[in-house]
Chains A and B, each alone.
Chain A
Amino acid sequence: MTVNPDAYFAVATLLFSLGILGVISRRNLLVIYLSIELMLNAVNLILATFSRLRPDEGGTMIALFMIGVIAAEAALFLAVIVQIYRKKQTLDSDAFTELAQGKRL
């Protein structure tokens, strides 16, 4: 079964845009993390698509490799989120502004 590649691109773009929207608009750190994962997967999808369109499996390889890396990164990310929560008992990103310069002026 062959599907038009444009459909893959459309899905990837949609996924990426959703991710960006999530990062920009949501305050919950977990949701921001999920949105980042969405963007990563959109990129993965594009890589796999291009790889199939050309006689070259390199893109697929990178996509597979990235899935592994993303799994490892997820473990780190979740650990960081737990640590952050312990500090302030909240996951609201707006609560963490210690390093800001503009606020104090």
Chain B
Amino acid sequence: MSSSLPSLIVLLPFLGAGVMGFVYLFVPGGRDLRRFYVAVGVGAPLLAALLGLIVVGELLTLPDSASITSPLYTWVSIGSFDIDVAFVVDRLSAVMLLVVTLVGSLIHIYAVGYMWDDEGFGKFFAYFNFFLGAMLLLVLADNPILLFIGWELVGLASYLLIGFYHRDTANITAANKAFVLNRVGDFGFVSGLGLLFVLQKQPGFDFASIFAGLGGADTAMLSLVGLLLFVGAMGKSAQIPLYVWLPDAMAGPTPVSALIHAATMVTAGVYMVARFAPLYNRIPDVGLFIAGIGAASALLAALFASWQNDIKKILAYSTMSQLGYMFIAVGLGEYSNGIFHLAAHAFFKALLFMGAGAVIVALHHEQDIFKIGGLGRRLPAVRRTMLVATLAITGIPIFAGFFSKDAILAYAFASGHTTLWAMGVAVAFLTAYYMFRLYFVVFVAPGHRSPSSHASQSSSMAPLPRSMIWPLFLLAAGSIFLGFWNLPEAYGGGDWFSHGLHLADHTAHLRSAEEYMLDGLNVLVALLGIAVAYRKFVRPAHPLRPPVHRLAWQRALANTLYIDTVYDRLIVRPLRGLSDGIDRCIDPKIIDGSLRGLVALYRGIALQSARLQNGNLRWYALTFLLGVSGLSLYLLIAIGGAS
């Protein structure tokens, strides 16, 4: 069935971005029209969310595998081969649509309070709407080409927003890093798309006809396609080895981090793999590789997060870790569990970032958790919602993270991938530890009372605007109740979400008793992590000091294993050396040299010819005569002679 609503949903945020950008740039005095920017910048995502709800409501009245398409026009038409600009809402993109617009809208509302005093308020909301529109384009695209356009626009928007505080060079560097690393991934992605295009024998390049044409294709080639597409996902979703941009991306304003980590950008890779589920189902080896990368990323990121002191960097690594879970899920072929964890994660991660943002604003941009300390009594609303989000990400029962994470781990165990399962459990322990480390140090432990840090002076606490508080409660509600949407059968539920998603999942069945045991183990492990954090950070009565790392391995982990330095030495410097070499030898000598040689040649010829013009009248007359004589001879002999 077709409807124009999906294209309208995509168009709205872009329209908002365009209008706000125009007003910001060209209307005199337009930069201070904050109420206008709030109306447009928050209105567009809210309207998109409303339309999204209507479309999804319509979709639910249709049979399971039906979809609502919104064809706009034919973009490329070569013979019988058409590439349409069309948007499609099926069960998978419906979930993404709701997550992106609902969580995105809440982050927009939160950003009103967070960015109110910034002089670039209008610019920020123009970028923000653009980001949301790009993500919606990616999610609702009907063919991989359109998806790729959204994919690139998301990268561009993240670049603009990470470098939003552009007066500081470090932020620009971070933005460049994110952009360049994403280009590395996109190179793989676009190569994969090109290969897929070559393999495609049937007319049409939309998802349905691609998957219909997969049957006859060579498995080895398909594996290459799947691998290359996943390289794109590595870049976008911050997995090993292309993850290093994610912690640096914290240079942007906190709402940007929330948007990148919850609703847009990093979830794109997981969505893409789920979208290509029929392809990945044919190449389980690549799927296993994806799951392996996911597990390794999850473990590495959890280790890094346990040793960070910057509140936003802890959250950044925790996102990478949770994305690792999602890739374990989609890699092993349980796509709906991966998407479910994505949706749950969107809620509690947005909440965590927004809570962190509230803390940062209240303390005048202090981000070191050991300098913040003991905020529980001063920010009770933030403390309570943060606790909900922390419990959700830790996987304590009834919170969303419990159901989504345990479904992934249970499946990994049931399908016989015990190594991946064990890594997942280890990550669960670390997650509990570092999240409660963050929570205890920031909210529970007594504050670090050094006279030099203004963090501890209660008089200097900035009051929080209301628009920064109430979105937290909505997200907290989501973090608590979302899990019941996919209540497993073992708990009397029906896996409604997974069944409703209608993806080509693999299935592996666990007996209820086994599932209880696995879940019990996970909860136990999480409680253990919490206990360790409690012993370390709440028990000591004296004020906390930043940990001093005496051992070499502790220092290495605190410095994230010097991965940035290693990349710098191994890749950046050789490349820079190569560029320098080209700049010093090949460019000036060979390329410029050959050009200069040509110029010298023409100049020489011209100067020699100029000697003919010597000003001697008789000489002119003679050459003139010779010329006319020659011409006459030619006329006589060659032409006149014939008749």
Do A and B interact?
yes
Contacts of A26 in B (CB 8 A): 618
Report 8 cross-chain contacts, Cβ distance below 8 Å, ordered by A residue.
A24-B625, A32-B617, A93-B618, A97-B616, A99-B615, A102-B610, A102-B614, A103-B614
With A101-B611, A102-B610, A105-B610 as contacts: A96 and B617 at CB distance below 8 Å: yes
B621 contacts chain A at the CB level, 8 A cutoff: yes
With A24-B625, A101-B610, A105-B607 as contacts: A96 and B618 at CB distance below 8 Å: no
B618 touches A97 (CB 8 A): no
Q: How far is the CA of A90 from the CA of B526 in the complex (A)?
A: 113
B620 CB to nearest A CB, Å: 9
Q: Which residues of B contact A (CB under 8 A)?
A: 607, 610-618, 621-622, 625
A89 contacts chain B at the CB level, 8 A cutoff: no
B544 CB to nearest A CB, Å: 85
Contacts of A100 in B (CB 8 A): 613-616
B621 touches A24 (CB 8 A): yes
A6 contacts chain B at the CB level, 8 A cutoff: no
A4 contacts chain B at the CB level, 8 A cutoff: no
Contacts of B615 in A (CB 8 A): 96-100, 102-103
- 4 shortest interchain CB distances as A-B pairs: A100-B615, A97-B615, A102-B611, A102-B614
A90 CB to nearest B CB, Å: 13
Of the candidates A23, A98, A99, which one forms a contact with B618 in the assembled complex, judged by CB atoms under 8 Å apart? A23
B612 touches A102 (CB 8 A): yes
A25 contacts chain B at the CB level, 8 A cutoff: yes
Q: Which residue of B lies closest to A100 (CB)?
A: B615
B611 touches A105 (CB 8 A): yes
Contacts of A32 in B (CB 8 A): 617
Contacts of B614 in A (CB 8 A): 97, 100-103
A27 contacts chain B at the CB level, 8 A cutoff: yes
New A-B contacts (6) at CB < 8 Å, excluding given A24-B621, A102-B612: A20-B625, A25-B618, A96-B615, A101-B610, A101-B613, A102-B615
A21 CB to nearest B CB, Å: 10
B607 touches A23 (CB 8 A): no
Q: How far is the CA of A90 from the CA of B446 in the complex (A)?
A: 110
Q: How far is the CA of A24 from the CA of B620 in the complex (A)?
A: 9
Q: How far is the CA of A26 from the CA of B617 in the complex (A)?
A: 10
Contacts of A93 in B (CB 8 A): 616-618
Contacts of A56 in B (CB 8 A): none
Contacts of B616 in A (CB 8 A): 93-94, 97, 100
Q: How far is the CA of A26 from the CA of B614 in the complex (A)?
A: 17
Q: How far is the CA of A99 from the CA of B610 in the complex (A)?
A: 11
Q: How far is the CA of A98 from the CA of B615 in the complex (A)?
A: 7
A27 touches B611 (CB 8 A): no
Q: How far is the CA of A100 from the CA of B615 in the complex (A)?
A: 4
Q: How far is the CA of A96 from the CA of B614 in the complex (A)?
A: 10
Q: Which residue of B lies closest to A32 (CB)?
A: B617
A49 CB to nearest B CB, Å: 19
Contacts of B611 in A (CB 8 A): 101-102, 105
Q: How far is the CA of A25 from the CA of B617 in the complex (A)?
A: 10
Of the candidates A24, A27, A105, which one forms a contact with B622 in the assembled complex, judged by CB atoms under 8 Å apart? A24
Q: Which residue of B lies closest to A27 (CB)?
A: B618
Contacts of A20 in B (CB 8 A): 621, 625
Q: How far is the CA of A103 from the CA of B616 in the complex (A)?
A: 10
Q: Which A52-100 residues sit within 8 Å CB-CB of chain B?
A: 93-94, 96-100
Contacts of A24 in B (CB 8 A): 618, 621-622, 625
B613 touches A102 (CB 8 A): yes
Q: Which A18-56 residues sit within 8 Å CB-CB of chain B?
A: 20, 23-27, 32
A8 CB to nearest B CB, Å: 20
Q: Which residue of A lies closest to B628 (CB)?
A: A20
Q: How far is the CA of A100 from the CA of B614 in the complex (A)?
A: 5
Contacts of B617 in A (CB 8 A): 32, 93-94, 96
Q: How far is the CA of A4 from the CA of B316 in the complex (A)?
A: 112
B590 CB to nearest A CB, Å: 31
Q: Which residue of A lies closest to B612 (CB)?
A: A102
Q: Which residue of A lies closest to B622 (CB)?
A: A24
B37 CB to nearest A CB, Å: 66
Q: Which residue of A lies closest to B607 (CB)?
A: A105
Q: Which residue of B lies closest to A92 (CB)?
A: B617
B400 CB to nearest A CB, Å: 86
Contacts of B612 in A (CB 8 A): 102
Q: How far is the CA of A70 from the CA of B617 in the complex (A)?
A: 21
Q: How far is the CA of A96 from the CA of B625 in the complex (A)?
A: 21
Q: How far is the CA of A59 from the CA of B229 in the complex (A)?
A: 86
Q: How far is the CA of A104 from the CA of B143 in the complex (A)?
A: 70
Most buried by B among A26, A96, A99, A101: A101
A50 CB to nearest B CB, Å: 16
A69 CB to nearest B CB, Å: 21
B636 CB to nearest A CB, Å: 15
Contacts of A23 in B (CB 8 A): 618, 621
A20 CB to nearest B CB, Å: 6
A9 CB to nearest B CB, Å: 15
Contacts of A98 in B (CB 8 A): 615
Q: How far is the CA of A99 from the CA of B620 in the complex (A)?
A: 13
Q: Which residue of A lies closest to B625 (CB)?
A: A20
Q: How far is the CA of A97 from the CA of B619 in the complex (A)?
A: 12
Q: How far is the CA of A93 from the CA of B610 in the complex (A)?
A: 20
Q: How far is the CA of A23 from the CA of B623 in the complex (A)?
A: 12
A18 CB to nearest B CB, Å: 13
A98 CB to nearest B CB, Å: 7
A31 CB to nearest B CB, Å: 11
Contacts of A94 in B (CB 8 A): 616-617
Q: Which residue of A lies closest to B618 (CB)?
A: A24
